[in-house]
Structure 1
Amino acid sequence: MIGSAIAPQLALMQLSDSFFPSGSFTLSHGLESLVQEKQLTSSEDLQTFLKLLLRNKVAVTDTVALIHAYRGSAIDDLDAVRLADAQLFAQTLVEKTRETQRKSGRALLMVASSTWQDVQLNSLNEDATTGKIHCLHPIIFGVVGRVAMLSEQHTVLAFLHSFITGLLGAAIRLSIVGHIQAQQILLQLAPEIEKAYHTAASMNLNQMWSCTPAIDIAQMRHQRLTHRLFAS
């Protein structure tokens, strides 16, 4: 039997690994549009794109909602989880983003329910079926982190790590960077990821905000691309 100290560490690696089928690898968050339109052409552009997403959107919106979902789950308050989900849905203005968040959230819930046995996951599956919850990906990730015995901090770091590595993987497929450059960028972004956690942890749901207009518009244009590798 795995020791109590080791199990959460293994769960952290499992959740943050691209091998875990959460569906996030199908998303480019507007990156594909910017690349095809020649607005993003270098590793420097990519780093700017990732920093903007972290600072002006993910840290102050998605991660805030994730943390409050985790905290609600930790005290067995699913109403708090549902509230975080509703607030994040209202805060996510781009329809395609809401749609992909729901799809990847439901995919994550399905995988988690088949991997871990937990009454909250069963309740959320019922909520998703009856429409009581939008089932957005950051919300489900927060609950799954608690179910997997991760701390709040480790849950957030797993989420942010998988978010960034997913986009770096997309950049590799779009031929913006190679594998070595991607690893270098990931290491350079470590302080940004840490800062994103501390920023989000200090905010309440009513303080969520985002300001990434160029990226949002790129996401809206994505569905009009002639050729697409990604869902967003």
Structure 2
Amino acid sequence: MPPTSSSPPPAPRSLLPFLQAMTYADSAYPSGRYTLSHGLEGLVQAHRVQGADEVSSALADHLRYTAAPGDGVATAAAATAGPGRIAVLIDLDHELSATKVTHELRRASTRVGRQMLQVTTEVERRLGGELPEPLLSYAAAVAAKETPGNQAVVAGLVHRAHGLTPRDAVATELTGLAVGWAGAALRLRQCDHIDAQVVITAAHPVIAGLAVQCVQVASDLVPGTGPESGPESGPGSVPCPGSGHVYANSPGRRGWRFLGRASPGSDLASAAHETAPARLFMS
């Protein structure tokens, strides 16, 4: 028999992005996502969602019309933006905040995003590393309060730094949302543990399709994020007079108007949830 080693062999580098994705999608990751119901509590309080079947149906609608068009596209755009695109990221961050129409949605997003950024920074420091660009510049902008620090933008940058593709970054975040949604349903007594797993598993095909769509929209939305775009040019880029470069925060050919949610029912439930006399979740 060959001699055994006391230390295990290093993991193949191709496995590392997957392992990082599992870490961030885990509900135990200390970003504060366990405090969010993603709007489910408001829908339950309004008696618009009752029982496991309606929880599952509402999750699919939330993914399609709320999470993917807003946070999903923002995650894909952030995961694609390379070094030197800090102005695009800040612009994207502010635009994403503007799509969240209630205070509780904006606060929940930035609270989780800033916490995720803080934990990632501290983990890298303790391991003797440092944040790569553009995550480092973005973190500095968040610390200086130049940009909100929304969870979707932070997540896209963090996943990019760990080698995840934009598609897989979006899928990781949407899966984390589905897990959180099912966990909230369990705590709100809308399902049991098996029902919760059924809800999550039923969402997987929806998430897989939406992840691809989010990347496609992001490449059309943000300059320089398409598969053929370099760091200094992109669809819809505006020439900077006399420099030969482009304005970094020029929107793509579709413009920022295509970023955002289309869920007035959820927004109304969120507005009522803000002033509810009793609640378990921030959102």
Q: Normalised by the shorter chain, which TM-score bucket?
A: over 0.9
Segments of structure 1 that go 5 or more residues without pairing to the other structure are none
Paired AA for residue 201 in structure 2: L
Q: Is the 8 A contact 1:70 1:81 kept in 2?
A: no
Q: Is the 8 A contact 1:89 1:134 kept in 2?
A: yes
Out of 27-36 and 176-185, give the one that drifted further: 27-36
1:87 CA displacement: 1.9
1:80 CA displacement: 2.3
In structure 2, how many angstroms separate the alpha carbons of the residues matched to 1:50 and 1:200? Answer: 17
Paired AA for residue 151 in structure 1: T
Equivalent position to 1:91, from 89, 95, 99: 99
In the TM superposition, 1:57-96 aligns within 5 A as 57-72=66-81, 74-96=82-104
SS in 2 for 1:22: coil
The equivalent residue for 1:118 is 131
Segments of structure 2 that go 5 or more residues without pairing to the other structure are 1-9, 125-129, 223-255
Please, what is the CA RMSD of the aligned residues?
1.6
In structure 2, how many angstroms separate the alpha carbons of the residues matched to 1:7 and 1:211? Answer: 35
In structure 1, how many angstroms separate the alpha carbons of the residues matched to 2:75 and 2:91? Answer: 11
- 1:113-152 superposed Cα distances (whole Å, 9 cap, x missing partner): 1123314444333211222111000000000001122122
The equivalent residue for 1:23 is 32
The equivalent residue for 1:157 is 171
In structure 1, how many angstroms separate the alpha carbons of the residues matched to 2:38 and 2:15? Answer: 34
In structure 1, how many angstroms separate the alpha carbons of the residues matched to 2:275 and 2:103? Answer: 14
Paired AA for residue 132 in structure 1: E
- 1:43-87 superposed Cα distances (whole Å, 9 cap, x missing partner): 121122111211111111111111111111x34522222222122
1:36 CA displacement: 2.8
SS in 1 for 2:272: helix
SS in 2 for 1:188: helix
Out of 23-32 and 158-167, give the one that drifted further: 23-32
SS in 2 for 1:184: helix
The equivalent residue for 1:166 is 180
Paired AA for residue 273 in structure 2: H
The TM-score normalised by the length of structure 1 is: 0.93
SS in 2 for 1:96: helix
In structure 1, how many angstroms separate the alpha carbons of the residues matched to 2:48 and 2:18? Answer: 39
Q: Tell me how many residue pairs correspond in the alignment.
A: 231
Out of 196-205 and 15-24, give the one that drifted further: 196-205
Q: Is the 8 A contact 2:78 2:156 kept in 1?
A: yes
How has the CA–CA distance of structure 1 residues 230 and 187 changed in structure 2, closer, same or farther, with 3 Å as cutoff? same
Moved over 4 A (4+): none
In structure 2, how many angstroms separate the alpha carbons of the residues matched to 1:18 and 1:29? Answer: 14
1:165 CA displacement: 0.4
1:102 CA displacement: 0.9
| Higher RCO (C-alpha 8 Å, min separation 6) | 1
Equivalent position to 1:56, from 60, 65, 73: 65
